[in-house]
Homo-oligomer: A and B are copies of this chain.
Amino acid sequence: MPYDLWYWPGLPGRGEFVRLVLEAAGLPYRDRGVEEGAEALLADMRKGSRLPFAPPYLRTGGRAIAQVANILHWLTERHDLAPVSDRVWLNQLQLTISDMVAEVHNVHHPVATGAYYHEQKPEAARAAAQFRQERLPKFLGYFEDALGDGEWMAGGRWSPVDTSLFQLIAGLRYMFPRRMASVEGDYPALIALYDRVKAVPGIAAYLDSDRRQAFNEDGIFRHYLELDAE
């Protein structure tokens, strides 16, 4: 029985952190939001009890499991995607990735989640400057140190935190190509991890497929020329 993944169609967004784990682990799933569209997603979200606040969510056995870190922790336990003794640490890292992703979204939507970027461009310019200069090095430096000499974040094999860091770096390279080009040299372990995740067989096959969606300006990682700088 495949999982039903529900997320907004047309953007990788937060759904991609779940997709990458399903693909890397070879877990069968249907990408329902992509296949059936936003109206079907909104209708499905209201089904049953214990509803999600927002996509992405995984529907399985009648329940809807939402919140990226919660989904990944649940998949980790169910499919043994990381050693038991590392799971608290990995969940902690995953939540720190979530914090960074929220700050990335805040760069282009600093004052109004419900309004468009073009309605908050001056505020976004300020938010982007401090994100590029302070927050981005602080988070990436933390993950670099957490990785240390390890090939993977824990347990000697890939886990959801590794695929999530891959997506984070891919997204940051898309959103801030100039900034990333100037700072990447400070994070050799993270960049090596990115390349290692890219070569995981399930990930390599996925990236080659038409299931992998390109970043775009409806998603979390958006490339606005005016928000990037060295």
Identify the A interface with B (CB < 8 A).
Answer: 49-53, 65-67, 69-70, 73-74, 88-89, 91-92, 95-96, 98-99, 102-103, 106, 110-115, 120, 123, 126-127, 130, 134-135, 139, 142, 145-146, 148
Contact = CB atoms under 8 A, between A and B. Distances in A.
8 contacts: A51-B145, A51-B146, A53-B96, A99-B102, A111-B126, A111-B130, A112-B130, A114-B134
Contacts of A96: 53, 67
A218 to B, nearest CB: 19
B92 A65 contact: yes
Nearest to A125: B111
Given A69-B69, A74-B88, A102-B102, A126 B146 contact: no
A89 B50 CA distance: 7
A87 to B, nearest CB: 10
Work out how many copies of this chain go into the complex: 2
A53 B96 CA distance: 7
Pick the 4 closest A-B CB pairs, nearest first. Answer: A111-B126, A67-B95, A111-B127, A112-B130
Given A70-B92, A120-B126, A123-B126, 4 more contacts: A73-B91, A110-B123, A111-B111, A111-B130
Contacts of A142: 51, 53
